């Protein structure tokens, strides 16, 4: 008998994602983004995102069914992002998923968006050896996670004490006068710059930080350092190359993320590392992590960039793991948890 067909619905931020998977097999991945509508505000406007989800949900679901060549009645279980994310945005996906679960009389799984970023790689590279370490870098989160079992045993090893890595990209892009979201723009621009041009600080890497914050991150000091550097040049009417600033900033981010992730693997004796989240699409981070993992004898798994940014397939992947492990479904009365912590896989 073939494995169950899982529908995944994602609506935690500005992407309406609908995915369909069967076991580790990706059948459909449709995403509608409201990004364009947020650009002129320089960041995601929650109410615009919620309204866009409401409008995009049904057409995105229909496109996914067509792509997978399946019918609504073929679906065996429904997984939906229950958190973390924007409350008004989460509620739209949850309502759609609950309506479908009730109407189709199929189980509902309210799942963690962050675990989605970690789980999506199985759709590309097959089952994840466990335990594995995961470096999760997104717009709202930066974590090192020890994944003992994707279906329920995930332990936080480190986190950011201030800004997330993606947030730092977005803020630095803004102060350089670049468009939102900053990650892809800085990634492109940095290719024309010199990463060694400016020596920006590497947060929480000093000797005295290692006791308490060995695997934690801090990007707020880096952002302030970039702001100050640019401010001084502008004040003195000194010209500078924005590409050099972008490349040097990016190098500082990639250096800290990769050094700490490799260190966490070595300290915990784990030789599989998984990269996930929107910032995992970053070309320099992917390259540097591959180099450092190879040097340390760590097997690195990197989902393709299109699966790194928010999507519904990653949520369906969590659903598939939960169904396979026999985890009890969620109640149809679950709420959204905008601050859901990484160690909670499902509600
Ligand atoms: O995971 P994601 O799609 O949404 C959240 O869950 O937050 O991550 C979005 C973040 C944004 O901050 C965006 O600037 C960043 O991922 N991002 C990138 C790249 N593509 C997206 N950051 C660096 N380089 C990229 N190529
Ligand atoms: Zn995300």
Q: How far apart, in whole angstroms, are the C-alpha atoms of residue 208 and residue 244?
A: 30
Q: Residue with the nearest Cα to atom 18 of ligand 1? A: 183
Indicate whether 347 belongs to any domain. Answer: no
Regarding whether 95 and 165 lie in a shared domain, the answer is no
Q: Residue with the nearest Cα to atom 2 of ligand 1? A: 278
Distance 130 CA to ligand 2 centre (A): 22
Regarding whether 225 and 161 lie in a shared domain, the answer is yes
Q: What is the value of pTM for the model shown? A: 0.95
Instruction: Answer yes or no: is pLDDT of 42 > 90.
Output: no
The CATH number linked to 11 is: 3.30.420.40
If one residue of 139, 257, 303 were mutated to test the ligand 1 pocket, choosing by the most ligand atoms within 8 A of its CB, it would be 139
| Nearest-atom index, ligand 1, CA of 250 | 23
Nearest CA to 186 out of 147, 242, 133 is that of 242
Distance 74 CA to ligand 2 centre (A): 28
Distance 233 CA to ligand 2 centre (A): 35
* CA distances to 111, 142, 223, 272, 313 from 128, in Å: 18, 20, 34, 9, 16
Task: Print the domain residue range for 220.
Answer: 130-304
Q: How far apart, in whole angstroms, are the C-alpha atoms of residue 134 and residue 223?
A: 24
Regarding whether 269 and 146 lie in a shared domain, the answer is yes
Surrounding residues of ion ligand 2, Cβ less than 5 A:
138, 310
Regarding whether 162 and 57 lie in a shared domain, the answer is no
Supply the pLDDT for residue 43: 87
Lowest mean pLDDT among 41-45, 259-263, 291-295: 41-45
Distance 207 CA to ligand 1 centre (A): 30
Q: Which ligand is nearest to the CA of 14?
A: 1
Quickly state the pLDDT bin for 1 (edges 50, 70, 90).
Answer: low
Average confidence score pLDDT of the chain: 97
Regarding whether 315 and 300 lie in a shared domain, the answer is no
Regarding whether 80 and 137 lie in a shared domain, the answer is no
Regarding whether 150 and 82 lie in a shared domain, the answer is no
Per-residue pLDDT of 191-222, as tens digits, reads: 999 999 999 999 999 999 999 999 999 999 99
Q: How far apart, in whole angstroms, are the C-alpha atoms of residue 170 and residue 319?
A: 31
Ligand 1 interacting residues, C-beta cut-off 6 A: 13, 138-140, 166, 169-170, 181-184, 187, 277-279, 281-282, 309-310
Per-residue pLDDT of 76-126, as tens digits, reads: 999 999 999 999 999 999 999 999 999 999 999 999 999 999 999 999 999
Q: How many CB atoms lie within 10 A of CB 86?
A: 23
* Partners of residue 22 on adjacent β-strands: 5, 25
Regarding whether 46 and 105 lie in a shared domain, the answer is yes
Quickly state the pLDDT bin for 178 (edges 50, 70, 90).
Answer: very high
Handedness of CA 253, 256, 257, 259 (dihedral sign): positive
Indicate whether 249 belongs to any domain. Answer: yes
């Amino acid at each position: 008998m073939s494995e169950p067909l899982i529908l995944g619905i994602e609506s935690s931020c500005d992407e309406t994602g609908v995915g369909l998977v069967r076991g580790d097999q990706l059948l459909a991945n449709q995403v509608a983004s409201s990004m364009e509508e947020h650009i002129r505000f320089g960041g995601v406007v929650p109410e615009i995102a919620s309204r866009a989800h409401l409008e995009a949900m049904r057409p995105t679901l229909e496109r996914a069914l067509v792509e997978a060549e399946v019918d609504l009645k073929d679906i065996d279980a429904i997984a939906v992002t229950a958190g973390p994310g924007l409350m008004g945005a989460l509620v739209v996906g949850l309502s759609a998923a609950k309506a479908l679960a009730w109407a189709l009389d199929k189980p509902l799984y309210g799942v963690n968006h962050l675990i989605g970023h970690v789980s999506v790689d199985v759709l590309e590279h097959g089952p994840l050896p466990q335990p594995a370490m995961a470096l999760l870098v997104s717009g709202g989160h930066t974590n090192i996670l020890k994944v003992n079992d994707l279906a329920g045993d995930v332990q936080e090893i480190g986190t950011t004490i201030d800004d997330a890595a993606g947030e730092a990209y977005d803020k630095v892009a803004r102060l350089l006068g670049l468009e939102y979201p900053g990650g892809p723009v800085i990634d492109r621009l940095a290719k024309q710059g010199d990463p060694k041009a400016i020596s920006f600080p590497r947060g929480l890497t000093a000797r005295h930080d290692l006791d308490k914050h060995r695997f934690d991150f801090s990007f707020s000091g880096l952002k302030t350092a970039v702001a100050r550097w640019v401010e001084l040049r502008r004040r003195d009417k000194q010209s500078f190359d924005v590409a050099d600033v972008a490349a040097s900033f990016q190098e500082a981010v990639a250096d800290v993320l990769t050094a700490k992730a490799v260190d966490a693997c070595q300290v915990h004796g784990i030789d599989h590392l998984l990269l996930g989240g929107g910032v995992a699409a970053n070309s320099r981070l992917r390259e540097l992590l591959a180099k450092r993992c190879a040097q340390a004898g760590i097997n690195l798994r990197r989902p393709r960039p299109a699966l790194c940014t928010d999507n519904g397939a990653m949520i369906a992947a969590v659903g598939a793991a939960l169904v396979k492990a026999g985890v009890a479904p969620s109640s149809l009365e679950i709420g959204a948890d905008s601050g859901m912590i990484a160690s909670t896989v499902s509600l």
